[in-house]
Amino acid sequence: MNILYICNDDSKPWQKAVHRHIPEAEFLVWGEDVVEAESVDYVLAWNPPPGVLATFTKAKAIFVLGAGVDALLRDPTLPTHMPIVRLVDPRLSSGMTEYIVHWVLHFHRSMHVYARQQTARQWVQYENTNPAKRRIGFLGLGELGQDAAHAVLMLGFENIAGWTRTPKDLPGIESFVGAQGLDGFLARTDILVCLLPHTKDTEGLLNAVTLAKLPQGAFVINAGRGSLVVEADMIEALNSGHIEAAAFDVFTPEPLPQDHPYWTLGNVFITPHIASLTTADSATQVVAKGIQAIIDGDLPDNVVDLTNGY
């Protein structure tokens, strides 16, 4: 069994993990090892150059080394005759949940205000808002969103809602569905958590019109995709104070250009796409289960629906 790794990150942790969890496999690195295209059985890929994947015509599956698959789907030569599997890994979920919980608490407890006060050497106390009265809204309730929403719920935030493409029945979470449910969802949301993937339907979803539907002084946390946001509209909403503050982990393009206005906005908090990072050992265990499913004649879990884009 030949497993080909296509990624710009260090291959050594992945080689070690594959040898541990799939000992019968030969681990090959694209661009380093001599690879006969027809000998590749499985591909582990993250942001491969367009056209590369099409050369591995005999591969049985492509395993994406992250939760997002939009980079692959932009490749017009992407081979669609084999399963393309997105990564659903407990370590990815826990990392994202930590990130979301951090920023929800940060804004809920006015830490952005106290940070400014420290710079100005001001000592002013503000009353804490009851978490049961703070309205949290999740744009997207996939594996990552559900895990984060559950964690926030356990912290006493009782007024939680989610907006999804199709109905979801989740305990303690009010459901808003489709285009007809978006306005109502936004109007009741004080802290908006964005975890949607990039699709033709989600691109530019947060724009001047939809941002205006949020309550005055709302907060935005985007750890989904940069393409969800029309940046000029977001900057205007931040400058006007309609959006009190925001935390962004994803951008278009990445890295964020040095001259981008976000860098100098005092109510914007930037992280370099680190909300949830793939861990080789944990992810390889998920890949190993997927490969075993294929060997057993089944489909692995979390095969990408090419129609929906995730």
Catalytic residues: 225, 273
How many C-beta atoms surround the C-beta of residue 273 within 10 A? Answer: 15
How many C-beta atoms surround the C-beta of residue 75 within 10 A? Answer: 15
How many C-beta atoms surround the C-beta of residue 38 within 10 A? Answer: 11
